[in-house]
Amino acid sequence: EFMPFDEKTRKREPRDPQAWLNVLFSRFWWNLYDNKAFNRFIIKRLGKRIQKITDFPQFIERLVLEDIYIGPNVPHFSGFELHSITKEGQVQVDCDIVYNGGFAIKVGIKTSIVLPATSVEVPAIAYIKVTKVRGRVRIHVSPPPCERFWVGFHKVPDIEITAETELGIASKT
């Protein structure tokens, strides 16, 4: 169930001058959170980053992002401060973010266990879910015509993640 800018949030912060931004973001989120094309785009982009990871234990050969679930819960932003803006159009903004979970990924793990006189491949899958993120971020938007932006935390955020693994189960995706 989609959880937009709800009544509780409206009552909690009735005079929040930045509430309009959360409402607008909620509207965009509503269009994207279960959009197959958007999910494929995120899988492609995040999958490339995951494939670059090479610092594994000896028995893990590689990781493959198989599926992603953006989830219905919308991040809430507050405490905006304009950090900088340039004449070229580069913008940096700081704000607080609270996200109460829903984002999940499914990662296939290619393993190879070497035993005397044989090599064994054991299929494995990891399910990773973000249940909470809270912290102060900087949003950096590059100048036009570039469409790049990045978001980074000022310090390690308060984050809760759950992870489950299944060994010996081949993925069906």
Angular region, 117: left φ>0, alpha ψ -120 to 50, beta rest: left
pTM over 0.75: no
Mean pLDDT by 10 residues, the chain (173 residues): 47 66 86 86 89 85 88 88 90 94 89 83 91 95 88 95 85 53
Output the pLDDT for position 16: 67
Output the pLDDT for position 172: 55
Residue 22 · residue 9 · CB < 8 Å: yes
Residue 78, judged by CB atoms within 10 A of its CB (0-12, 13-18, 19+), counts as middle
